[in-house]
Structure 1
Amino acid sequence: MVDEKKTINVDDAEIDRLFEEYQKTKDINLRNELVNRHLYIAEIVAKKFVNRGIEYDDLYQVACMALINAVERFEPNKGYKFTSFATPTIMGEIKRYFRDRALLIRLPRRIYETSSKIKLATEILSTKLKRPPKVEEIAEHLNMSLEEVLEVMEASTNYLPQSLDQTMYEDEEMTLGDVLGKSDDSLTQIENIEAIKKAIDKLSPIEKEFVQKRFFEEKTQREIADEMKVSQMYISRLEKKVLKKLKDFIDGTKMPI
């Protein structure tokens, strides 16, 4: 893993030169130097996600891996600074890390911690080998037995939530989503109508008349004003008052007098 020194006051011209040289040579030492110079970004972004159920060290490792990927993908001739490119890249990777670990069942701590190490080792070896690593290579990298790695991989997979699009049985089209209960929108609509009826019953006679003309007969404020022999301004204020009364009642607050 790269050295964790922090270098915040970097020289933009020097950074651009290093990136241009790295694009040409793909020298691993150049890449590590660029990563080391920008580790502070990984630290800052990782700290934004602490106290959300995942240890800071894990977040920092994910941020560092995202930083390495950002260094490899950055193109200095695009006209923007590396910090502007790396920050959203790292944030996106950490958010994806959270999504991937939104497990329906909490993993045992040993399995969870080892699974995180295996994932990180897989990413490191993939970058190094330019291909997905074999299980034997992951085990060697982590100084673990092949059986231990396979055990944790299998356990982690079993704890992951299943897709609702997954079929329940082979050769059948019924999915898990097909057997789950669903909310009935028509029931919600009935509840809303009943709530509105009760709210209207609390209105004064003139307010009920206004509601009838405005919302059931769909008349304009001008038409209602002419029929009720009042100004349009009065109708406008009445509408605001009625709507507030209805909202307050439906929300469960006290009806204004």
Structure 2
Amino acid sequence: MNKEQYYNLGRKLTKEERKELFKVYEEEKDEEVREILIEEHLYIAEILSKKYAGRGIDYEDIYQVASMGLIFAIDRYDLSKGYEFSSFATPTIIGEIKKHFRDKGWTIRVPRRIQELSKKINNAKSYLAQRDQKTPTAEDLAEYLNTTPEEILETIEASKVYTPQSLDISYDSGGDDKEINLTDLIGEDEKYFDKIEVNDFLEKSMKGLNEVERTILIDRYFNKKTQIAIAKKLDISQMTVSRIEKKVLEKMRKEIEKSMEV
């Protein structure tokens, strides 16, 4: 089966067909084959991205990093070693995701009083939940710790900077037997904080790209378009899109490695 036929199958490839493509890519480094392999295995990046979602970094950012990790895994995979690609790709992708989380680690110094109150809040939540058989509200915590609800919420918000946590944490609303998310308590703008560093990195990286490179990067990893669709949009060959994408990803990978050394 030739490469064009693989593109026109209209279905997922079988395990043997994917192995055959890996052999072709290992021997020929054909960019079209690489593109097929990426499309066939993006589900791995998606699954792993969801696993790390809700930990203080936007899912889309995690998915982009996971997709880059997948491409690195495809480029490095050695079929002769006998490993299944998914077994090889998973730790590679997770490694990229964890490096991204480390890169985004906050360096803000949290006041000692916030750190101490945060520990008390965590202990109080466990105690009150067991005592009252319900999730304590900010008012419950404030009354138990002899402080104010505002200070409780301030500490919860600040502690996420010190130790990032999920914004999906729920609290009893105090009425109607409904729970509310932490995001409802601390304001809508907070959800944008985690995007600042990623956006800053992308903005700086984009400055070094030309219009075609920027279009390919945005359409490929933000709009999730295929190389074929992008090629039609730009009126260039799919091979050209693939080569430009590879060049841009390599440039961004070097930028990430450089930022980690600082």
Which TM-score band (shorter chain)? 0.3 to 0.5
Bigger RCO of structures 1 and 2 (CA < 8 A, at least 6 apart): 2
Question: What TM-score, normalized to structure 2?
Answer: 0.42
Give the greater-gyration-radius structure (CA): 1
Question: What TM-score, normalized to structure 1?
Answer: 0.43
